[in-house]
Structure 1
Amino acid sequence: MPKLSSRSTISPTKSAVNSAVRILFRADGNTTIGLGHMVRSLALADMVRAVAPGLVLARTPPAVVRELVAQAGLPLLELPELAPAEEADYLLARVLRPTDVLVLDGYGFDSDYRRRVRASGCRLVCLDDLHAGFFPADLIINHSPGVTAADYQAEPTTRFCLGPAFSLLRPPFLRHAALPRPAGPVASVLVCFGGADPLQLTARMLAALLALGSLARIGLLLGGAAAAPTAIQALLAAHPQQQVTLYRSLLAEEMVPVLLGYDAVICPASTILIESLVLGRPVITGYYADNQRALAAYVHAHQQAHSVGDFAAYSDPPLAAALRAGLSRLATQPRQPYAQQLAPDELRARFRALLPGA
C-alpha cells in the first residue's frame, strides 16, 4: 500500500464526479460519533463498486476519515459545516443530479432532510438502524436482526434489505465469513471499542482483565480516532509480566487475522461486533450508547454472543466479575450463527435496479 499524505482527499474532478450516473455516499466520522457510519458506508461502496462510480460526501472530515476514503479508492467531496436543512439545500443546489443514487448513513438525516434531497429527482437509499420518522426512500438497508418492513413509515414503492444477511462488511470479512466453532477454553482475549472509543473503555476492560489474572494473552485494538492510550500505558507498566499487544489503525485485511488470532473478543454492539460474529468469533458484548442496546440484547437472547449490558454502568470489581462470567459462558456454551448466509449479490442487484433505465 503506498504511503498516504497528510491530506489524502482525492480531487472531486475525478471521473466519479463527472460521471452521468453516480452513487453518492453521505456519511461522517470523528472522535465524537465514531467511525461506524463511515466504515459501513465504505463497505457498501465496495460491494456496489461495479454498479456505478462512487463518490463520498463528508462534512469537514478529519484526517482519519480522509485516509479511510483514500484507502477505499474513492473520491471525496468535503462539505461545509451547515445545519441539516441548509446542507440538504446546498446538496440540492450544487451537488445532486436526477441521475444520482444518494446513500444516507447518519442520525442527522431526518425526515425533512430526506424530503429535501429527494426533490432533486435522485434515487434515495437509507442505511438505518433506528426506523424513526418517514422515509421517502427507494431502498432502506437495515442489517440489524429482528427488524421488519412493518417497523418503517415509507413509500408504498420502497424496497427493503433487512437483517444480518445484508450485513455491510468490507471484503476481507466477507471472504473469511465462518460459522461458530464448538465452545472451548479461552486463554486469549482481544478488546476493541471501535474507531473512537469516546468513553475510553478499552483501558477499563484491560484493567478488569488484568484483575482476573487468568489470561495468557490480551490484545488491544485501537481505531484511528481513539485518544492516546495514556491510561493503557500506565496499566502495562504496572503489569510487566502480562503479555499485552497493542494494535492501532489496522486496515481491514490486517484486522481479520488479528480477530482470528484470539480465543474471544470483547467489543460493543456496533460494526466490530457484526464483523466478529460473521468471522465466527466468540464475543462478549454490551453497549454504551442507546443505538447499541437492541443489538446487544438480541445477540444475547439468541445465543450468538454474551452481553454484559451497559459497559459504562459498571464499577471496577463488578466489571471484572461480569467479564469472568462471560468468558466462562463462552468456554462452555455452544453459540448460534449470526447470519446463516450473506447476500451481497442481492444487494448489488437492488442497486442496479435503481439506475436510470433499469
Structure 2
Amino acid sequence: MCAKRRVVFRADGNARIGLGHVVRSLALADVLREHFDLAFAIQRPTTEVADMVLKVCGRLLPLPQTDDLRADADAFCGELQPGDVVVLDGYRFDAAYQKACRDDGHRFLVCIDDLQSVHMYADAVINHGGGIDAAAYEMEPYTRLFLGPEYALLRRPFMDIDPGLRQFANLNQFFVCMGGADPLNLSRLALDALARVPEVSHVIVVTGSANPFREELEALLPDFPFTGQVLHNLDALAMCRAMQSCGSAIVPASSVAIEACAVGMRIFAGYFADNQKPFANYLASRGLANPLGELTHATAAGLAARIRTAPDSARMVARQQTIFGGRQRHNLFSIFKLWI
C-alpha cells in the first residue's frame, strides 16, 4: 500500500487574535482526513487548542513564539518534506513566506485567504467569502482561485445538515457567539441589547476556549429578564445543536455566520475587524442576515432597535439554504484530489 501524501496546515490562534483561522483550517482538515496524513503547525498552542487540533490531525507541530516572520518561516519549513501539501491560513503569511513554503515547486501550496492583499504564489487559493472580485487578486499564472460560499469551510455537522429535515425553533430564542476569543466582550453587549427586547425568552451564549469573560457572563445571566446559559468550548456537533435549538442568532460576519447560514436562522451579523466588513456587506446585500454594522461602536440600545424592527425570517432562511446548503465537501475535496 502506498503511503498517503501529507497535508501540513499552518495557522495560529489564541486569546489575542482569536481562533478563526484554526477553526476553519480544521474544518478543511476534516474533509481531507480520510485521504491524507495530516499535521498542524502552530505557535505555542494552549492545551485547549492542542486538543482541538489533535481531534482532527494526526500530528501537532508546535512552533516557537515569535513575531519575526522570517524566523517563523525558517522554523516551519524545517518541519516540511518534499511533496507535502502546505495549507496557510493567516494574515501574516506574505509572498516571501509563501515562496519559502512552496520551495520552487517541490511542495504544493494552498492559501486560505479573505483579504486579497498580497501577491499569491500558491497553487490554489480558497476564499469562501461572498461577492469576491477575482480580478483583484495578484497571482502567478499557475495559481487557481476557488471563490465563494460553494467552498465554505464548514465543519462536518454543518455540512451534514439536511435542509428538508430542519425544525425551526422559536425566533425569540437567541444564539450568541462572538468567536473563539471575543477580546472585546461583545457577548456582554449582545446580552444587554437583548435585555431591551421584551419578546426574547431564552439566550444561549457560546464562549470559545480563548474567551477570558466566561465566568463574568455566567455571573451576570441571572440578572437578565430571560432565561439563559453559557456554553463553553463546544465541539462542532454541540455548536450545531445549540444553533438548531434557537431561531435567531447574533454573530460576527465570520465563520460563525457561515455556520448559522448552514443551519438556517434569523441572523443578525455585525463586524469588529476590517476583514469581516466585506462579508458583512455581502450577507446584508443578499438578504442572508440583518446588518448590525460595526460592533465596536455599537450600543445596546441601537442593537435592540435593529432587532425589534427586523423583518420576518422565512425568506432569509430560504436564501441561506440555496447558497450554503450545497456541495461544499465535494467542492473542497476536489481541490486536493489531484494530490492524493
CA distance in 2 between counterparts of 1:259 and 1:223 reads 15
CA distance in 2 between counterparts of 1:268 and 1:180 reads 26
Q: Secondary structure at the match of 1:286?
A: strand
Q: Secondary structure at the match of 2:110?
A: strand
Matches within 5 A, 1:78-117: 78-82=62-66, 83-92=68-77, 94-117=78-101
Shift of 1:237: 3.5
Residue from 75, 86, 108 that aligns with 1:123 = 108
The equivalent residue for 2:16 is 32
Per-residue CA deviation, residues 224-277 of structure 1 (Å, 9 max, x unaligned), is 1111335424532423x5211221111111111110111111100011100010
Q: Which amino acid aligns with 2:160?
A: R
Q: Is the 8 A contact 1:102 1:122 kept in 2?
A: yes
Residue from 301, 306, 311 that aligns with 1:322 = 306
CA distance in 2 between counterparts of 1:177 and 1:198 reads 34
Shift of 1:307: 1.0
CA distance in 1 between counterparts of 2:59 and 2:293 reads 39
Q: Is the 8 A contact 1:306 1:330 kept in 2?
A: no
Q: Do structure 1's residue 352 and structure 2's residue 334 form an aligned pair?
A: no
Give the unaligned 5+ runs of structure 2.
none
The equivalent residue for 1:250 is 234
Q: Is the 8 A contact 1:223 1:248 kept in 2?
A: yes
Shift of 1:74: 2.6
Q: Do structure 1's residue 168 and structure 2's residue 153 form an aligned pair?
A: yes
Deviates more, 1:224-233 or 1:290-299: 224-233
Q: Secondary structure at the match of 2:158?
A: helix
The equivalent residue for 2:6 is 22
Normalised by the size of structure 1, how large is the TM-score? 0.87
Shift of 1:100: 0.5
Matches within 5 A, 1:1-358: 21-82=5-66, 83-92=68-77, 94-119=78-103, 121-176=106-161, 178=163, 186-239=171-224, 242-325=226-309, 328-331=310-313, 334-335=316-317, 336-337=319-320, 338-339=323-324, 341-355=326-340
CA distance in 2 between counterparts of 1:147 and 1:333 reads 23
Q: Is the 8 A contact 1:42 1:72 kept in 2?
A: yes
Compared with structure 1, are the counterparts of its residues 47 and 183 closer, same or farther at alpha carbon in structure 2 (3 Å cutoff)?
Answer: closer
Deviates more, 1:53-62 or 1:146-155: 146-155
Per-residue CA deviation, residues 185-242 of structure 1 (Å, 9 max, x unaligned), is 7221111111111110101111111122221211111111111335424532423x52
Q: Which amino acid aligns with 2:30?
A: D
Q: Which amino acid aligns with 1:316?
A: A
Deviates more, 1:142-151 or 1:293-302: 142-151
Q: Is the 8 A contact 1:26 1:105 kept in 2?
A: yes
Superposed CA RMSD: 2.3
Shift of 1:330: 4.0
Per-residue CA deviation, residues 5-43 of structure 1 (Å, 9 max, x unaligned), is xxxxxxxxxxxxxx6731000011100111110011011
CA distance in 1 between counterparts of 2:117 and 2:251 reads 26
**Between Structure 1 and Structure 2, how many residues are aligned?**
333
Compared with structure 1, are the counterparts of its residues 330 and 29 closer, same or farther at alpha carbon in structure 2 (3 Å cutoff)?
Answer: farther
CA distance in 2 between counterparts of 1:28 and 1:265 reads 27
Per-residue CA deviation, residues 275-305 of structure 1 (Å, 9 max, x unaligned), is 0101122210010111110111111011111
Over the matched positions of the two proteins, sequence identity in percent amounts to 34
Q: Which amino acid aligns with 2:186?
A: L
Per-residue CA deviation, residues 81-111 of structure 1 (Å, 9 max, x unaligned), is 231112212333x222221100000011011
Q: Secondary structure at the match of 2:199?
A: coil
Deviates more, 1:140-149 or 1:331-340: 331-340
Give 4+ residue runs of structure 1 displaced > 6 Å after superposition. 179-185
Compared with structure 1, are the counterparts of its residues 353 and 231 closer, same or farther at alpha carbon in structure 2 (3 Å cutoff)?
Answer: same
Per-residue CA deviation, residues 47-102 of structure 1 (Å, 9 max, x unaligned), is 1113320100001111221010122253101011231112212333x222221100
Shift of 1:182: 11
Q: Is the 8 A contact 2:112 2:126 kept in 1?
A: yes
Q: Is the 8 A contact 1:267 1:286 kept in 2?
A: yes
Per-residue CA deviation, residues 103-128 of structure 1 (Å, 9 max, x unaligned), is 00001101121122222621110000
Q: Secondary structure at the match of 1:69?
A: helix
Q: Is the 8 A contact 2:257 2:269 kept in 1?
A: yes
Q: Which amino acid aligns with 1:140?
A: V
Compared with structure 1, are the counterparts of its residues 330 and 106 closer, same or farther at alpha carbon in structure 2 (3 Å cutoff)?
Answer: farther
